[in-house]
Amino acid sequence: MRKCPICEKGELQKVEDITLEISGYVFVVKGERCNYCREELPYEEETERVVSVSRKLGVWPEPLKLYRHLSKSGGGLIFRVPSDIERQMKLDESTEISIAKIGNKMVIEQEG
């Protein structure tokens, strides 16, 4: 058995019941668990499998870049939030957002 790289006190034991949760989906994978600190280390191939399945399900957090045209309304510019993002982020007309300018980028974040 290998020594735990986290606590350096316990030994890693092979297990088949490590749970990983991504956006409400629970994955059970194989790996190693420290018998002292209980830290879990999934095997790399298991983690790659989870990432692959998560991407297919559309729940793996990847950078999203959309291209939209702005519209003019009441002397200001507006843009539309795509309905799939609206559903994923549970947005509605009462959702408060913040808009920040960072360099030449605009960052929009949901408040609360």
Q: Rounded distance, CA 91 to CA 100, Å? A: 19
Amino acid (one-letter) located at 18: I
Domain that includes residue 102, residue range: 71-110
Residue 64 lies in a domain: no
The answer on 77 and 100 residing in a single domain is yes
When the pLDDT of each residue in the chain is averaged and rounded to a whole number, the result is 90
Q: Which residues have C-beta within 8 Å of that of residue 84, sequence separation ≥ 6?
A: none
Question: How many domains does the structure of the chain reveal?
Answer: 2
In the prediction, which pLDDT does 11 show?
96
Looking at residue 68, its pLDDT comes to 83
Same domain (yes/no): 18, 50: yes
Query: Could you tell me if residue 20 is inside a domain?
Result: yes
Query: Is 6 within the bounds of a domain?
Result: no
Q: For each of the chain's 112 residues, which pLDDT tens digit applies?
A: 799 999 999 999 999 999 999 888 999 999 999 999 999 999 999 999 999 998 888 888 766 677 888 899 988 999 888 888 888 888 999 999 999 999 988 888 898 7
Non-local CB neighbours of 83 within 8 Å, separated by 6+ positions: none
Task: Look up residue 38 and give its amino acid.
Answer: R
Give the other-Cβ count within 10 Å of 108's Cβ: 10
CA distance 28 to 1: 22
For 37-52, the pLDDT digits (tens) are 999 999 999 999 999 9
Structure letter (DSSP) for residue 97 = E
Helix (H, G, I), strand (E, B) or coil at 60: coil
Residues 53 and 75 grouped into a single domain: no
Q: Encode pLDDT of 91-106 as tens digits.
A: 999 999 999 999 988 8
- Other C-beta atoms lying within 10 Å of the C-beta of residue 14: 10
Structural contact between residues 15 and 32, judged by C-beta atoms closer than 8 angstroms: yes
